Amino acid sequence: MVKVTYVAHDGTQTAIEADEGDSVMHAAVANDIDGIVGECGGSMMCATCHCYVDEAWEERVGGRADGEEDMLEGAASEVTERSRLSCQIKLTGDLDGLVVHLPEDQI
pTM of the predicted structure, to 2 decimals: 0.95
Amino acid identity for residue 77 in this structure: S
> In CATH, what number is assigned to the domain containing residue 42?
3.10.20.30
Residue 34 lies in a domain: yes
Residue 24 lies in a domain: yes
Residue 106 lies in a domain: no
Q: Which residue has the higher pLDDT, 107 or 31?
A: 31
Residue 73 lies in a domain: yes
Q: Report which of 66, 40, 67, 35 is spatially closest to residue 52, judged by C-alpha positions.
A: 35
Q: Is 84 helix (H, G, I), strand (E, B) or coil?
A: strand
pLDDT at 77: 96
The pLDDT mean for the chain works out to 96
Mean pLDDT of 72-85: 96
Over the stretch 11-41, which tens digit does the pLDDT of each residue have? 999 999 999 999 999 999 999 999 999 999 9
Our count of domains for the chain comes to 1
pLDDT at 18: 98
- Cα separation, 62 vs 19, in Å, equals 19
CB atoms within 10 A of CB 106: 20
Domain range spanning residue 92? Answer: 2-101
Residue 82 lies in a domain: yes
Residue 47 lies in a domain: yes
